[in-house]
Amino acid sequence: MESLQDWLAFSRTVELGSFAAAGRSLEQTASAVGKQVARLEKFLGVRLLQRSTRRMTLTPEGRLAHLRCHELLLGFGSLRAELACSVGAVAGPLRVGAPWVAQHWLVPLLPAFLQRHPGVQVDLHFSDEQGDLLSDGLDLAIRSVVPPDAPWQARPLQAFRLQLWAAPSYLARSGRPQGVADLKAHRALRFRHPDSGKLLPWPFLADEARVPPTALSSNQMEAIRQACLQGLGLACMPDFQVREDLQTGRLEPVLAQELVHLGRYQALWLRGVPVAPRVRAFIEHLAAAAGKGGGRPPPKAR
């Protein structure tokens, strides 16, 4: 049997649609991923993917292999967790996946956890791509949206508010919106999802036509924040991302009484798989931090 890494490369290529995307997810080159898939095809004696210059599609054999691949990775993840649980100590590597923007509240919680559990080695994997716990090799994923019908357990964590923000320089130049109808005269800074390539809707505006024209879009929320600080437009961002900017006056809330969406991050792990002590300890640490105030939305800005 070929290496587990070859199966991971095949699984990620199928899920993300290209060697390049799979390579970014696995922190490898597209060429390396392609060679791993080719090696797996050679070992199995069948073609798994039909390749063209524009797209990749699974062959019938590839569909069967992908189904069995998922079962294989699930079994491996279960074995790894069982072995970790047999030791019992809160120690060892802990691979956590989270969106890029979550680093603003997640990283400050690490010192207390690592001081309490010095035997744990935390490996943070930040990505806005909707990966998979199995093929990404994650012990735990942090998401604001739980995929439907996913074989995952969920634990509520950090609550947050999505709302509009702008720099004082932008408001001085373009005026402060007094209502939703005024937004059409403004410019929007939009997040473009790396998986779909589509602009992420502003959740507090059901009608996309009411969102201002886009001045800038990016697949990185930090780039959106920097553009907002430069006065390029209005940006929809979570409150924890801009907390320091709000305190220092670099950003101001816009229509905070009318346009707000309450969200919450959740910890996700595989259902039916033994949870290693280090994973359970980390989940409890994050949940406790949320219960001390991180899990409650702050009062609305006036």
Domain limits, the chain = 1-87, 91-302
Q: pTM to 2 decimals?
A: 0.64
Distance CA 8, CA 26 (A): 9
- 98 sits in which H/E element: strand 92-98
Q: Is the pLDDT at 118 greater than 60, yes or no?
A: yes
- Topology of domain 91-302, CATH: D-Maltodextrin-Binding Protein; domain 2 (3.40.190)
Please give the Cα distance from 289 to 158 (Å, whole number).
Answer: 8
How high is the pLDDT of residue 1?
46
Tokens matching residue 52 = 């063209």
Lowest mean pLDDT among 142-156, 179-193, 203-217, 223-237: 142-156
Confidence at residue 75, expressed as pLDDT on a 0 to 100 scale: 65
- What is the C-alpha to C-alpha distance for residues 30 and 53, in angstroms, rounded to an integer? 14
| pLDDT at residue number 301 | 34
List the single range of 60-64, 108-112, 149-153 with lowest mean pLDDT: 149-153
Residue 77's pLDDT is what?
64
Mean pLDDT, residues 159-165: 94
pLDDT of residue 24: 86
The answer on pLDDT for 5 being more than 60 is yes
Residue 171: what pLDDT? 97
Contact 227, 216 (CB under 8 A): yes
Place of tokens 């994973």: 279
Task: Please state, in angstroms and rounded to a whole number, the distance separating the CA atoms of residues 13 and 219.
Answer: 20
- What is d(CA 170, CA 164) in angstroms, rounded to the nearest whole number? 13
Does the fold of domain 91-302 match that of domain 1-87? no
Residue 199 has pLDDT above 60, yes or no: yes
Alpha carbons 103 and 85: distance in angstroms, whole number: 28
With b meaning 16 or more CB within 10 Å and e meaning fewer, what string describes 40-70? Answer: bbeeeeeebbeeeeeebebeeebeebbeebb
Cα 151 to Cα 249: distance, rounded to the nearest angstrom: 44
CATH class of 1-87: mainly alpha
DSSP state of 133: T
Does residue 37 surpass a pLDDT of 70?
yes
Q: Which of 54, 87, 62, 108 lies closest to 286, judged by CA?
A: 108
Of 165 and 92, the one with more pLDDT:
165
Distance of CA 255 to the CA centre of its chain: 27
Each residue of 206-250: pLDDT tens digit? 888 899 999 999 999 999 999 999 999 999 999 999 999 999 999
